[in-house]
Amino acid sequence: MSALVEAQDLVKHFPVSRKIGQVLRGEHPAVKAVDGVSFAIGRGENVGILGESGCGKTTLGRLLLRLITPTAGEIRFDGQPLAEHSGDALLSFRRRAQLVFQNPFDALNPRFTMATSLAEPLRNTRVPAKEHQDRIRTAMRRVHLPDVETYADKYPHQLSGGQLQRVVLARALVVEPEFIVADEPVSMLDVSVRAGILNVMKEIGEQMGLAAAYISHDLALVRYVCERTLTMYCGVVVEDGPTEEVVHRPQHPYTQALVKAVPVPHVHQSREPLPIKGGVPDARNPLSGCRFRDRCPYAFQRCAEEVPPLREIGRGHRAACHLLD
């Protein structure tokens, strides 16, 4: 069965304003947010896209939903290239792919009631009005807010963060999508509330057979919800494999450092220095060869000369590191 979402050599560069010298030299400096990413998401598969800020994961999420268009490379949704969609085809795509936002307080128009916000995607994608009530009710039930009447007239400022995020989720589900991109869906919620939203998301994924891309910097979250995890660093994917493998047997030095860096809620945990050197990746001028080499404790000559390809190293597990040859 073909994958639902396929990204092929995806590149997104954001041009940066040039200085005179650069104009004269014909240079086009840009922030290389996504710099050659290829992967696929199968139907019903939950994939985590893990990385720190600036690694390009948010940009990738927006590319997958065609909120921005790639500089190079291709995205195919259900076999059809996304770039070619327009008009009705685009609306049809919007019905099948939705986004869940990071900030529940900002994701809903503060002047709209919950009812209006929930109906909006239905109106925009031209779902017949008689179906609206049922769809909204079903979606709200899925997010465990079955009393639609109590919420219908409320405004965003009247609800708590957890409730709001559920409504945001319901709004995404109202069009009955096949694919959801969730960008840091719980990072702005209190901890005791996060668990509830994550459980709901897991449940929905199973019930509706949704494919999902969870974008997060939080390894624990990704591990809770996703079967598969991609690690991104400076615009490229450095590791891609089953979540448990990536968490317990990370193969790429960056993933290894990431895993070791996460604190756990027990006093007895490792406090050894991380196997990573300080430094911030520069998305405007990524290093030659392996971009991680200036921070990698194991870097050697080849790392500066050759870009390590994303190579299969185990069952369904790929990593981009020369050490693994």
Partner 1 sequence: MPILEIEDLCVHYVTPQGVARAVDGASFVVEPGQIVGLVGESGCGKTTLARAIPRVMPKSARVAGGRILFEGEDLLALPARRMNAHRWKKIAFIPQSAMNSLDPVYRVGRQMSEVLIERGGMDKRTARARSAELFAMVGIETGRLDDYPHQFSGGMRQRVAIALALALKPKLVIADEPVTALDVVVQRQVLDVLRALQAELSLSVILVTHDISVVAYLCDAVVVMYAGQVAESGSCDDVLARPDHPYTMGLCNAFPDLARSQGKLVPIEGAPPSLLDPPRGCRFAPRCPFRVERCDEPPPLTRMRPGHRAACWRSGEAAALRIRASRTDTWEQIGARVA
Partner 2 sequence: MTLARQPIAGPGLEEASRGRLGRMRRYLVLPTQDPFALVGVAIYILFILVALLAPWLATHDPLEILFLEGGKLARSVPPGAEHYLGTTNLGRDIYSQLVYGTQGALVVGLSAAVAVVTAGTVVGLVAGYFGGWIDNVLMRLADIALGIPFLPFVVVLAAFLRPSMWNVVLAIALLLWPNSGRVIRSQVLSLRERAFVEAAVVSGASNAKILFVHIAPNILPLTLLYGSIAVGWAILTEASISFLGFGPSDTITWGYMLQDAYASQALSRGHYYWFVPPGVCIVLIVLAGFFITRGYEEIFFPKLRD
C-alpha 145/C-alpha 40 separation (Å) is: 33
Beta strands (DSSP E) in the chain are 5-15, 30-41, 46-50, 72-77, 80-81, 97-100, 179-183, 211-216, 228-233, 236-242, 311-314, 317-319
Backbone angles phi, psi at 306, to 5 degrees: -125, 135
Rounded (10°) angle between helices 161-173 and 114-124: 20
**Nearer to partner 1 by C-beta: 123 or 298?**
298
Dihedral angle sign, alpha carbons of residues 52, 55, 61, 62: positive
CB 101 within 8 A of CB 183: yes
Q: Is 96 helix (H, G, I), strand (E, B) or coil?
A: helix
Under the binding rule (CB under 8 A), the answer on residue 269 touching partner 1 is: yes
The nearest distance, CB 302 to partner 2, in angstroms, is 32
The nearest distance, CB 225 to partner 1, in angstroms, is 10
Q: Which of 11, 188, 287, 307 binds partner 2 (CB under 8 A)?
A: 188
Q: Which of 43, 113, 224, 302 binds partner 2 (CB under 8 A)?
A: 113
The nearest distance, CB 304 to partner 2, in angstroms, is 29
Under the binding rule (CB under 8 A), the answer on residue 129 touching partner 2 is: no
C-alpha 232/C-alpha 255 separation (Å) is: 9
Total residues at interface with partner 2 (CB under 8 A)? 48
Binding site for partner 2 (CB under 8 A): 53-54, 58, 65, 67, 90-91, 94-95, 98-99, 101-111, 113, 120-121, 124-125, 153-155, 157-164, 168, 171, 175, 184, 187-191, 217
Binding site for partner 1 (CB under 8 A): 52-53, 147, 160, 162, 190-196, 198-199, 217-221, 223-224, 247, 257-259, 261-267, 269, 271, 273-274, 276, 278, 280
